[in-house]
Amino acid sequence: MALTITNLSKTYPNGVQALKNLTLTIPNVMFGLLGPNGAGKSSLMRTIATLQDPDEGSIDLDGLDVLARKDDVRRILGYLPQEFGVYPKISATDLLHHLAVMKGITNKGERTAMVDAILNQTNLWDYRKKSLSTYSGGMKQRFGIAQALLANPKLIIVDEPTAGLDPAERNRFLNLLSSVGAGVTVILSTHIVQDVRELCPRMAIISNGELLLEGAPNDALNSLAGRIWSKVVASDDELRALEANFQVVSSHLVGGLHEVRVFADSSPGDGFRSVESDLEDVYFINLARQGKR
């Protein structure tokens, strides 16, 4: 079930242009949407989820006009927004039953079987009768996926799902997301590069409402093979000198020293060593290219 986005634009009343003539095709896979905060990711997700209209453009979901047939889209959509609220005093079981009824699953036997299966899939069965106010951040995110899985959706959108989770909860959540199954298009919108590297066979990078790159992560990594160089420097002055003379991709502190990564077709000189490219390199290089346009 391919999702085709064509020439999508959105400007808010405050003058912020969140989407700029964006065109993108999302195939029937786990698809990663990368971008910094304020890139337009949430605006795009809300538009696909029929929560807002664009100023221009179209969205087609396997022949279904998303903007014209919103009720039909909502029947096959699962959505976990960035800010996901719950009724704190209700149990997971009761709230899932309530949400399932709202999605049109009125047969009690069918609904119970579905809710029980989803609680097991999201590893919440042992906590199903506890009020949601007692859940940890990671458990609430897993409940968010549970409600998104109701009624066997064909399109699932998750917006910044691992932000704020500790490493253990992040791993649990990513493992859950990867188990959603074949036949479902999942859009994972995030600014955490590693989430996309671990889960997604296809990805896109957007910034300032524009598409910067679309493709397979491995292809993007291969395009940088032999062109990423690393050097450790001890002082801020050395770091500034490298930034003035080379295309510095990123730098971070290791044991109080700056480890600098540089993009270059050949060795930048003494002290540099060739290193394997990673998806963060792809991400930062594309953002830098946009900034120079």
Fold of 3-216: Rossmann fold (3.40.50)
* 3 state SS of 190: strand
Q: Letter for the amino acid at 19?
A: L
What does the CA dihedral 164, 167, 172, 173 come to, rounded to 10 degrees?
30
Q: What is the pLDDT of residue 292?
A: 66
For the chain, the distance separating the N- and C-terminal CA atoms, rounded to the nearest angstrom, is 35
290: pLDDT strictly greater than 80: yes
Domain ranges of the chain: 3-216, 226-276
Are 231 and 273 within 8 A, CB to CB? yes
**Closest to 248 in 3D by CA, of 288, 199, 279, 209:** 288
Q: pLDDT band for 183, please (50, 70, 90 cuts).
A: confident
Question: Average of pLDDT values for 90-117?
Answer: 94
102: pLDDT strictly greater than 80: yes
What is the tens place of the pLDDT at every residue in 222-266? 999 999 999 999 888 999 999 999 999 999 998 889 999 999 999
Q: pLDDT band for 293, please (50, 70, 90 cuts).
A: low
What is the tens place of the pLDDT at every residue in 188-227? 999 889 999 989 999 999 999 999 999 999 999 999 999 9
What is the tens place of the pLDDT at every residue in 36-45? 989 999 999 9
Q: pLDDT band for 22, please (50, 70, 90 cuts).
A: very high
HSE (side-chain half, CA atoms, 13 Å) at 281? 25
Other CB atoms within a 10 A radius of the CB of residue 263 amount to 19
What is the tens place of the pLDDT at every residue in 149-160? 999 899 999 998
